């Protein structure tokens, strides 16, 4: 028997179950226009928005005018019962703090492990160690640097990121955190997209975890020498744990302490191999999201691994809202039938909250080419968009209020990938 409250919610779902799109702040912001666009979202059945700095932004990020528009977003949202979420970076991936964190130098920057065969030991920049193999070859182990991103394994680097982005919001809007500003979206943090990750903290961390000298066994990460299977397992497990604890968990705990929530998603969630080198594993991170999420690019519905992974963790930890950032790169000619097809497929696999990518503050110039489409007031069908949002919200709300029941347990094979 359906309760009266449930029937009421089904007729007009509460805002917290409604879509929360990426709102691309990509222009010279004005408080009046910001408020007008929020009113448009409310009219279309949207429940909140992620205030997201993107290419084309003319207003200084985190400057006085930026904060004035954030304040307007919170105030207008509160008046309408909508959540004004902060996106935690100027662009993506999250972590570099608009260039301030990685700008501190190599210790804070993302690093990759490399090797080469050399004739003899010699002084060389960025050398970690030399190791002589049983066959007589001498290896030089060294690191390369990506100066444009950060070392997400190092807790002090993440603390710097919090100081650059999260703390200013808390200082300015602390009373609104968890209320008018529900929390933060962190987007595609990662350990590596270019090979085996390296961090200056790894040797000491490896020694503490396994009572073994990491430098002596580094060749086993590249070559089938020594007990390479054990070394690789230990290394990648450590990398996964450091990334989970020192980045995601640290941000989650900051949000807990300040009364806010953390949502977002990891990068390259789709396959075992892709998530190994970019995250270690994605599922351990989902414990440290109040609203765990995923990303779904392009116009397709396969493979199912991505939604099932995040939904599995959310179900185990009783997290009813499971977010999908979706519809990026579906193109300007995507139809409502196709949007419905893609998102309903995700909901069948556990997703309960829609995050449309994206809504452009402006489409002027190159902005219209930012992972289109813009599902916003610029569209000729905007006046009918509420029908879609209402329908998707009702299904998601029923799933979020329901209780998942399963008769099969699947062991995730990431540790043997």
Sorting pLDDT into bands at 50, 70 and 90, what band is 4?
confident
Average pLDDT of the chain to the nearest whole number = 96
- What pLDDT score does 303 carry? 86
Residue 162 DSSP class: I
Q: What is the pLDDT of residues 73-94, one digit of tens each?
A: 999 999 999 999 999 999 999 9
Sorting pLDDT into bands at 50, 70 and 90, what band is 170?
very high
Sheet holding 183-187, edge to edge: 353-356, 323-328, 291-297, 261-265, 183-187, 83-90, 48-53, 22-25, 359-360
- What pLDDT score does 406 carry? 87
327 neighbors 302 (Cβ within 8 angstroms): no
Q: What is the pLDDT of residues 263-303, one digit of tens each?
A: 999 999 998 889 988 999 999 999 999 999 999 999 999 88
* Residue 132 CB burial class (10 angstroms; 0-12, 13-18, ≥19): exposed
Sorting pLDDT into bands at 50, 70 and 90, what band is 417?
low
pLDDT exceeds cutoff 90 at 376? yes
- What pLDDT score does 386 carry? 98
Q: What is the pLDDT of residues 206-239, one digit of tens each?
A: 999 999 999 999 999 999 999 999 999 999 999 9
pLDDT exceeds cutoff 90 at 108? yes
Helix axes 385-401, 4-11, angle to 10 degrees: 150
* Cα dihedral value 294, 314, 245, 155, nearest 10: 50
Furthest CA-CA distance within the chain:
80
């Amino acid at each position: 028997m359906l309760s009266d409250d449930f029937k009421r919610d089904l007729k007009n779902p509460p805002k917290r179950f409604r879509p929360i799109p990426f709102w691309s702040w990509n222009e010279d912001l004005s408080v009046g226009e910001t408020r007008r666009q929020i009113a448009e979202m409310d009219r279309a059945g949207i429940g909140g928005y992620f205030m997201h700095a993107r290419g084309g932004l003319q207003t200084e990020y985190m400057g006085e005018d930026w904060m004035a528009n954030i304040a307007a977003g919170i105030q207008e949202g509160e008046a309408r019962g909508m959540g004004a979420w902060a996106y935690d970076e100027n662009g993506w991936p999250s972590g570099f703090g608009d260039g301030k964190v990685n700008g501190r130098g190599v210790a804070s920057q993302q690093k990759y492990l490399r090797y080469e065969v050399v004739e003899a030991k010699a002084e060389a920049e960025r050398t970690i160690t030399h190791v002589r193999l049983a066959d007589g070859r001498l290896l030089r182990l060294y690191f390369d640097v990506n100066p444009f991103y950060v070392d997400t394994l190092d807790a002090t680097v993440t603390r710097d990121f919090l100081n650059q982005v999260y703390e200013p919001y808390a200082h300015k809007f602390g009373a609104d955190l968890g209320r008018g500003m529900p929390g933060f979206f962190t987007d595609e943090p990662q350990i590596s997209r270019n090979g085996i990750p390296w961090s200056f903290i790894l040797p000491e961390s490896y020694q503490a975890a396994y009572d073994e000298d990491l430098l002596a066994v580094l060749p086993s990460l590249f070559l089938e020498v020594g007990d390479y299977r054990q070394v690789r397992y230990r290394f990648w497990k450590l990398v996964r744990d450091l990334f989970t604890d020192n980045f995601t968990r640290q941000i989650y705990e900051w949000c807990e302490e300040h009364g806010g929530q953390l949502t977002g998603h990891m990068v390259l969630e789709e396959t075992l191999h892709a998530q190994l080198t970019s995250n270690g594993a994605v599922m351990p991170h989902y414990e440290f999201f109040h609203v765990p999420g995923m990303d779904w690019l392009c116009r397709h519905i396969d493979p199912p691994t991505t939604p099932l992974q995040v939904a599995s963790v959310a179900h185990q930890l009783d997290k009813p809202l499971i977010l999908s950032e979706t519809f990026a790169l579906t193109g300007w000619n995507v139809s409502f039938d196709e949007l419905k097809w893609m998102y309903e497929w995700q909901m069948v696999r556990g997703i309960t909250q829609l995050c449309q990518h994206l809504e452009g503050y402006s489409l002027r110039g190159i902005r219209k080419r930012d992972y289109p489409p813009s599902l916003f007031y610029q569209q000729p069908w905007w006046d009918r968009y509420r029908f879609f949002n209402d329908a998707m919200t009702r299904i998601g709300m029923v799933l979020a209020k329901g209780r998942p029941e399963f008769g099969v347990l699947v062991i995730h094979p990431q540790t043997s990938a």
